[in-house]
């Protein structure tokens, strides 16, 4: 992989929310990092290109946030 940016996001309506911090959120799609808010191991993803996002965890065990690298 050329960088550590999240290049894919799962836009499936069934995968939009999950409060299980133990679930795997990251996986590889087409050789690039991908993020699913439900669980990367769940079936029926709807992968969409992100343009390159940075994964950030808000203070300590806070929520996971995807942030545009252009905003940094």
Q: What is the pTM of this model?
A: 0.79
Could you give the dihedral angle defined by the CA atoms of residues 18, 22, 23 and 29, in that order, rounded to the nearest 10 degrees? 120
Intervals of the chain under pLDDT 70: 1-2, 18-20, 22, 58-63, 70-72
The structure tokens listed for 56 are 């950030």
**What pLDDT was estimated at residue 44?**
94
- How many other CB atoms are found less than 10 A from the CB of residue 4? 9
Annotated domain spans of the chain: 6-71
């Amino acid at each position: 992989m050329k960088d550590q940016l999240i290049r894919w996001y799962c836009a499936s309506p069934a995968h939009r929310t999950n409060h299980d911090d133990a679930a795997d959120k990251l996986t590889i799609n087409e050789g690039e990092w991908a993020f699913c808010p439900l669980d990367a191991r769940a079936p029926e993803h709807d992968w969409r290109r992100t343009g390159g996002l940075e994964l950030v965890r808000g203070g300590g065990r806070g929520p996971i946030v995807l942030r545009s690298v252009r905003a940094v």
